[in-house]
Amino acid sequence: MPVMPTRGNSILVETPETIRAEQSKRASTYNPAAALCGWIWTKVNIWEDTRNRGYQQLWGEYWRMWRGKWSVQEINRLSERSKLIAPALAQAIEQTVSELEEAIFSKETWFDVAVEVAKDMAAIAKRDRLLTDLEKVNAADQIMEAVLNGAIFGTLIAKVNTSLSAEQKPIRDPVSYELKAKDEKQVQVSIEAIRPDQFIPDPAGLTVEQMLGCAHRLQRTMAYVQEKCAQGIYDENALANVFPTRRLKNSDVDQEDPMSINTTYESEQVDVIEYHGKVPARLLFEVKEAKNVADELLGLSLKDIEDSAGVGPMIEAIVTIANQGVLLRAIPNPFTLTDRSIVAAQFEKVPGRFWGRGVAEKGYNPQKALDSEIRSRMDALGYLSAPMLAVDSGRIPRSGNKLEVKPGKVWTTQGNPNEVLMAFPQLNFNQMTFQQASEMERMVQMGTGALDVASAIKNQSQSGANSMSSNSMLMGAFVKRSKRSIANISRNFIGPLIQKVIWRYMQFDPVRYPNDLDIKLKPTLGIVAREVEAGQMTQLLGMMPQEYHQVQLLLAKGIIEHTALSNKGELLQAIIQALKPPSPQEQQQQQQVQQLTVQAHIAGLQAQVQALQLTNQKTQAEIKNILAQAAERSHEAQINVARLHQDEQRIEQDQTEQEQFAQQNRVAAARLPIEWLTAQARMISAQASMHKAKNPPPKASTSK
């Protein structure tokens, strides 16, 4: 019997009447809905605080770096005045996400059934039906939003929602020709991307399945809650306790955004927490209306069972709470496999952790250094354009002078302005900051793995390594990291997500989806990776010999599959048709054609042999004729040689005679002076004789 000690030495013993009165009082004030809300809110609040301590500040910085939004928290030093944020990290995030989107959704059929059932036309029809249903709810957009969240925050999270929606179609009344709306109710399974700051997981679990539970905290309008109550999804009785309110606990990554600081005056928003996980079965069945006898019996048996902690057995449930205390919905997990509707995966693996590693985290440090470098440069430019002034305060008039720097400003001084005013300090702009900023951008690309082709080619040109081999090595590193990200997202996020969608359709729309589908994702490569592979296949196609025409067709098929040509399907169909083995009739026709071709080829060869023989005979006759002509020409050549010898002898004889004649002329020329002198002597002798004859000497007289 319970007792209660008093101040004195005596004790007060409770009577059965007081105990029953206390129990009836507790029963009259006990509210099962409040108890369930309190149990869930206590855990969700602790989990949210744990998450915020580790990631709220970092996620806010990642978000602002991606959006290019400056905040007071971005200040690196007290003297910093510039608010610039470099777009390097944002470019890396957009480049990575666009590469993943191109790889996942580049094909119209972005997933397929397994190979062993690929020939089953019914399975192919179900696949096409599932693709159409996913396109109606814009599933690709939500998947890419989750991928973008993963690139920024490091974790991809999405929720599978199942609803019965009325699809409206306009029809024309055949009698009155009035345009009317036709409603067709159909089960719709949609995908909703969840931003990590809106997701509250149990910090003890590494996966969603390992956690005690997880919650999706979101802001909805009052009209949304009223509509859900009208549809029977939420409890209509709880609507009287739901009122618009401000955010009771703001964990938004961008707390300066107007959507995160709404007040009740600005919008009628309701703070909604949707919990997926285990709850005490006793609390759930106290607030849930029993729908059949089994539920009633189970509820009665569970009320009296409690463990040492006073909780009792746990059961999978979906509980929705408004404004932290109003129970809108509390149902056991309605799905056949009792699986949770939330899928989460790491963008890049972090062993032993639930939260992953995104592009923003990889490029965080170089982005901070780049921002600091650029802001320092802008601050330095500000001091250069409008420097500080050192002023002799005693030589400036105290009235009429406003201490500011602007074009056309007139400063009145008492004395020489060069002595009264002086720029302080003397600053010089360092040109090395440009090179340092480029180096920081390169480090962002190095950390994130995102490839900026223009910057890469520029850096290669400056380093002298602009060649095909260096470009291939550069592209290869990017392609490998891209393939790793694509494989991780396809295996751990998109595959389980599509599988849950199929299970929901199988349970709630068994006519259209009677059986399970073994889905096989078909991710391809991104644009850059496909360009690299297409270039390699083109080079291989050019080196392939002509006799390997089937290999050439396969290479051509791979190249065409990597393109976005308008007639891509026709080209692929023609190549596939060319690669298909022929039918028996076609084979027989081909054999006949081949036989006729061989016969014609043999006849042609025989004709060619005969023609070659005739040509050979003709060639031999021509050779003989040529040989005879050659002999005749040889004889003529001998005659000509003899004639040449005779001509040479005659020429030599003529030359000898000419030399003799010249010698005689020389002798005659040498005798001419002698003969002339002889003639002169004879003439002188004759003249002397004639003179002597004319003038005889006188005779001598004799004296007697």
* Domain end point (choices 513, 543, 573): 543
Q: Average the pLDDT over 662-681 and give the result.
A: 82
Are 254 and 312 within 8 A, CB to CB? no
**Of 299-308, 369-378, 611-620, which one has max mean pLDDT?**
611-620
**Of 63-72, 342-351, 537-546, 640-649, which one has max mean pLDDT?**
342-351
3-state secondary structure of 215: strand
CA dist 703 and 690 (Å) reads 32
Position 699 in a domain: no
Supply the pLDDT for residue 24.
56
Residue 320 has pLDDT above 80, yes or no: yes
* Domain end point (choices 543, 568, 592): 543
Do 364 and 484 lie in one domain? The reply is yes
Supply the pLDDT for residue 285.
84
- Residue 141 identity (one-letter amino acid): D
Position 680 in a domain: no
Return mean pLDDT, the chain.
79
Q: Tell how far CA 23 is from the center of its chain.
A: 66
Supply the pLDDT for residue 518.
82
Are 194 and 159 within 8 A, CB to CB? yes
Do 519 and 601 lie in one domain? The reply is no
Do 660 and 513 lie in one domain? The reply is no
Residue 119 has pLDDT above 50, yes or no: yes
Do 484 and 593 lie in one domain? The reply is no
Give the angle subtended at the CA of 551 by the CAs of 550 and 556, to the nearest 5°. Answer: 95
Do 517 and 649 lie in one domain? The reply is no
Do 380 and 476 lie in one domain? The reply is yes
b (16+ CB within 10 A) / e for 178-204: eeeeeeeeebbbbbbbbbbbbbbbbbe
Question: What string of H, E and C letters represents the secondary structure of 380-401?
Answer: HHHHHHCCCEEECHHHCCCCCC
Supply the pLDDT for residue 430.
63
Supply the pLDDT for residue 450.
67
Residue 249 has pLDDT above 80, yes or no: no
289: pLDDT confidence band, cut at 50, 70 and 90?
A: low
CA dist 448 and 362 (Å) reads 5
Do 448 and 591 lie in one domain? The reply is no
In the chain, how many domains are there?
2
Looking at the chain, how many residues does it have?
704
pLDDT tens per residue across span 551-600: 777 777 776 666 666 666 677 777 777 667 767 777 777 778 878 888 88
Residue 468 has pLDDT above 50, yes or no: no
Q: Average the pLDDT over 352-377 and give the result.
A: 87
Supply the pLDDT for residue 453.
52
Q: Give which of 106, 111, 102 is closest to 520, Cα–Cα.
A: 111
CA dist 76 and 372 (Å) reads 7
Q: Average the pLDDT over 538-547 and give the result.
A: 72
Strand boundaries in 104-178, DSSP class E: 111-113, 155-172
Are 403 and 416 within 8 A, CB to CB? no
Residue 461 has pLDDT above 50, yes or no: no
CA dist 527 and 101 (Å) reads 10
364-367 long-range Cβ contacts below 8 angstroms, 24+ apart: 364/58, 364/61, 364/62, 364/65, 364/89, 365/447, 366/88, 366/440, 366/443, 366/444, 366/446, 366/447, 367/65, 367/86, 367/88, 367/89, 367/444
For residue 622, what are the domain limits?
581-671
- Element spanning 693, H or E: helix 584-694
Supply the pLDDT for residue 343.
96
Are 303 and 286 within 8 A, CB to CB? yes
For 402, half-sphere exposure in the C-beta direction (CA atoms, 13 angstrom radius) is 5
Q: Average the pLDDT over 451-469 and give the result.
A: 50
CA dist 97 and 640 (Å) reads 93
Position 7 in a domain: no
Supply the pLDDT for residue 91.
87
Supply the pLDDT for residue 2.
45
Are 500 and 159 within 8 A, CB to CB? no
Do 372 and 494 lie in one domain? The reply is yes
Position 5 in a domain: no
Q: Average the pLDDT over 64-81 and give the result.
A: 82
Q: Give which of 73, 236, 126, 169 is closest to 515, Cα–Cα.
A: 126
Q: Average the pLDDT over 465-480 and give the result.
A: 53
Give the rounded percent of residues in the chain with a pLDDT score beyond 90.
24
Position 58 in a domain: no
Are 107 and 395 within 8 A, CB to CB? no
CA dist 280 and 693 (Å) reads 191
CA dist 216 and 200 (Å) reads 6
Please tell me which residue, 264 or 84, carries the higher pLDDT value.
Answer: 84
Position 636 in a domain: yes
Do 373 and 475 lie in one domain? The reply is yes
Burial of 613 (0-12, 13-18, 19+ CB in 10 A): exposed
Please tell me which residue, 256 or 332, carries the higher pLDDT value.
Answer: 332
Are 212 and 46 within 8 A, CB to CB? no
* Domain end point (choices 517, 543, 569): 543
Do 475 and 537 lie in one domain? The reply is yes
Position 458 in a domain: yes
Please tell me which residue, 388 or 151, carries the higher pLDDT value.
Answer: 151
Position 33 in a domain: no
Residue 429 has pLDDT above 90, yes or no: no
Give the rounded percent of residues in the chain with a pLDDT score beyond 70.
76
Residue 282 has pLDDT above 80, yes or no: yes
- The alpha-helical segments, DSSP class H, found in 449-583 are 453-463, 468-489, 495-508, 527-543, 549-561, 568-579
Do 525 and 598 lie in one domain? The reply is no
Q: Give which of 486, 464, 460 is closest to 474, Cα–Cα.
A: 460
Supply the pLDDT for residue 465.
46
Supply the pLDDT for residue 477.
58
pLDDT tens per residue across span 488-503: 898 999 999 999 999 9
CA dist 477 and 445 (Å) reads 12
Residue 26 has pLDDT above 80, yes or no: no
pLDDT tens per residue across span 431-450: 666 666 667 677 776 667 66
Do 477 and 625 lie in one domain? The reply is no
CA dist 144 and 65 (Å) reads 20
